[in-house]
Amino acid sequence: MSNIVCRETEFAGYPLSLESGLLVPQANGAVKITYGQTTILATVVSNTTAKEDSDFFPLRVDYEEKLYAGGFIRSSRFVKRDGRPRDEAVIAARLIDHAIRPLFPSDFMDETQVVLTTLTVDRECDPLLVAMMASSAVLASSNIPWSGPIASVRVGLLKDGQFILNPKVSLFEELDLNLVISYLKDGKVLAMEAEANNVPDEKVLEAIKWGNEQAQPLFAFFENFAKEVASQKYTYQSYALRPELMDSVSAFASDRLRSMLATPVNKVDWADAYAKLREDLYKELEGKFSKNDMNRALEKVEKQTVRLLVLEDGRRADGRSFDQVRSLFIQAGVLPRVHGSALFQRELTQVLTITTLASGSMEQIIQDLYGEHRCRYFHHYNAPSYSTGEAGFMKGAGRREIGHGALAEKALYPILPGREDFPYTIHLVSEVLSQNGSSSMASTCGSSLSLMDAGVPVSEHVGGISVGLMTLPEDQSKYVILTDIAGSEDFAGFMDYKMAGTRSGVTAIQMDTKLPGLPLELFDEIFAKSKAGRLVILEEMYRAISQPRENLSPYAPRITCLMIDPDKIGVVIGSGGKTIKEISEKTGCEVNIEDDGEVQIIATEETADPKAAEEWIAGLVKEVEVGEIYEGVVVKTAEFGAFVRILPGKDGLLHVSEIAHHRVNRVEDELHEGDSVRVKVIRTDRDGKISLSRKELLPMEEDSSPRRGASGRSVRPDRQSKRDYNNRRY
């Protein structure tokens, strides 16, 4: 067994410990980290032979949530093994990837995998944050080349305007800002992700700077731990392209690329011209270098040309100014029958978003490390291969699609109405029809428009834009911040900063960089340009649709809500569900009942009668009191009396002795099924039985009027035979 190293400290009010040398002896690095009572096992393994055909660094990060960590068994009846990762776990892995990837050497191509496994979780220390700290500790202490450590923290903004470091999980719902951010020791920012409740841009910027100050104690702790583990970084085979290859490709392609960029063209024409250039390059250097190496070199020359065009010539490939948003086309209500739809197009980036509304029964049930909870709003993002003009397999959502959908979901959450005001389950789907930069922000804008088109009472529009950074890796002293980066600028640039919000504040952020960190001083300009671009887009969105439609789509379900005493739920459901099924069948409405007594009546067809269902349920749960008078309907007669429906679903017994002041021999002599009758409640029992009286509401003089018996002859009480009287039945 190798040397076991254990170190402890305290950070943000919780004990923090690192341990290496005991677990996972065959990995390049393994660390068990415990923060509070949340424990993560972090491992990293690297294959020391690079793939010959790789044109990117093959790093994979996996964040593994184990339900046993929270003391749960998978709720599926048939499959008990932990399954595919939740979307939230995929998003966590992406965030960790964004933070650690820039610190690997640029010529390092050894396939590397970081796995972060939850072993225990408490209710206070967030496992995602612990996993981020674990990734830093395991890479810094492993023998894999990496220039960390990094420090990751969570910055929360309380309702009173105060910041809080690494807030408890139980506080998340109360925060106006929830920011996860990773720093280098010199204050540079590597990655961040945030959700905010319409927080002013300036306050979010303040949170980024405040978080850097709070994160500083972590660096010394991680550095000292890595020194004690004493793993010597291994010598890797450089995958850098040979200088003679770069010189040859640059000499052949630079001028043609600059000429191509000098005349703005659309993405399709550019692709055709680029394909022709590549074929000419193959012919020019045939036999000297491999096609794979020539492709990699041509990409590097293309990136450098785009950068120099901006930095030296002061212009962008499409001719826009540095802070100009691409041309917009916006249309709400583009599809028939769906509940809401909108098309948002920014030059060649085009997104169609559809809103679907449903009842509470369609809420998503999610099982995570803290048990089960329900989600009434969710957003999905689809980007098929045709959106980039390519042919490909139609498969499920990948990590990118999941991440982009989650970003748009977070961005729109603050403007949604509460469940008490809008009791619908809300599903948004963004179909990306064309991609050329920042489709995630286009899906955010399209979703906001679609919600308004659906008549969802959102408070205001949310829009977003992507901001990029153009500089030279070898000399970062000169840089340009670009608003609304197109695909080629994202490809050649070094930052993708996406920020969404309203006219007054921020709702969501996601940022990653290809550089080993961005200086904090850059963020003043980044925020200013991002906000300015967002406001331009929001103005166009308001021109397209300025407020939610007054009425929901005729194809959307109509939901009526009422609250009943939870003790009365059984009355509405009935034995074996008989009563609630009868209500649904006779009114054409779906009826859902929550444990707290909330009843949802859902009408999906024009023939449905939600008013009748509401009255029926209200009648079932109403406490009938002695002395109340009702206009009822006879629903059944018997020898001893009549059953009268005084409220929907609630019947009382009108005994034969209470029908009239005179003697009634046969109930049918006075009442028949379907007759309306005015009755008074004279008695109620604990078991819910109701006794009624009709005679108490009749004048006494009616008793002297003649009545007709079954034979049609006039009958008076004093002429009834003794035999009839003795044989009366109640």
**Given this model, what pLDDT does residue 558 score?**
93
pLDDT tens profile 338-372: 999 999 999 999 999 999 999 988 999 999 999 99
pLDDT tens profile 403-447: 999 999 999 999 999 988 999 999 999 999 999 989 999 999 999
**Given this model, what pLDDT does residue 431 score?**
98
Mean pLDDT of the chain: 91
Q: Which of 603, 556, 348, 327 is nearest to 450 (CA)?
A: 556
Q: Is the pTM of this model over 0.85?
A: yes
Task: Please give the backbone phi and psi of residue 215, each rounded to the nearest 5 degrees, phi first.
Answer: -80, -15
CB 675 within 8 A of CB 642: no
| Contacts for 356 with CB less than 8 Å, ≥ 6 apart | 338, 339, 426, 427, 428, 429
For the record, the structure tokens of 385 come out as: 């291969």
Q: How far apart are CA 569 and CA 442, in angstroms?
A: 45
HSE value, Cβ hemisphere, 13 Å, CA-based, for 386: 6
Helix (H), strand (E) at residue 425: strand 425-434
Annotated binding site: 490, 496
Neighbours of 367 (CB within 10 A): 17
CB 633 within 8 A of CB 676: yes
The one-character DSSP state at 518 is: B
For the record, the structure tokens of 138 come out as: 């395991």
Q: How far apart are CA 208 and CA 448, in angstroms?
A: 27
pLDDT beyond 70 at 314: yes
Q: How far apart are CA 605 and CA 329, in angstroms?
A: 35
Domains located in the chain, CATH noted: 5-169+178-229 (3.30.230.70), 243-311 (1.10.10), 328-544 (3.30.230.70), 558-621 (3.30.1370.10), 629-726 (2.40.50.140)
pLDDT tens profile 226-246: 999 988 999 999 989 999 999
**Given this model, what pLDDT does residue 571 score?**
87
The one-character DSSP state at 129 is: H
Which residue type is seen at 481? I
Averaged pLDDT, 607-627: 89
pLDDT tens profile 255-276: 999 888 877 666 677 788 889 9
Q: Which of 530, 528, 524 is nearest to 189 (CA)?
A: 524
First-to-final CA distance of the chain: 92
Indicate the pairing of strand 598-603 with strand 463-472. unpaired
Q: How far apart are CA 262 and CA 668, in angstroms?
A: 98
Averaged pLDDT, 556-581: 91
For the record, the structure tokens of 45 come out as: 């393994």
Cα angle 183, 184, 186 (rounded to 5 degrees) comes to 120
Overall size of the chain counted in residues: 730
CB 512 within 8 A of CB 505: no
pLDDT beyond 50 at 722: no
pLDDT beyond 60 at 706: no
CB 626 within 8 A of CB 684: yes
> Phi/psi zone of residue 151: left (φ > 0), alpha (ψ -120 to 50 degrees), beta?
beta
**Given this model, what pLDDT does residue 264 score?**
65
Burial of 81 from C-beta contacts in 10 A (0-12 / 13-18 / 19+): exposed
- Which residue intervals of 173-242 are DSSP H helices? 201-229
Among the listed ranges 177-181, 314-318, 491-495, 499-503, which one has the minimum average pLDDT value? 314-318
CB 145 within 8 A of CB 121: no
Among the listed ranges 193-197, 521-525, 647-651, which one has the minimum average pLDDT value? 647-651
Annotated binding site for Mg(2+): 490, 496
Task: Detail the DSSP E strand segments found in 72-209.
Answer: 112-120, 151-157, 163-165, 177-183, 189-199
Q: What percent of the chain has pLDDT over 90?
A: 79
Question: Which residue(s) pair with 371 in the sheet?
Answer: 368
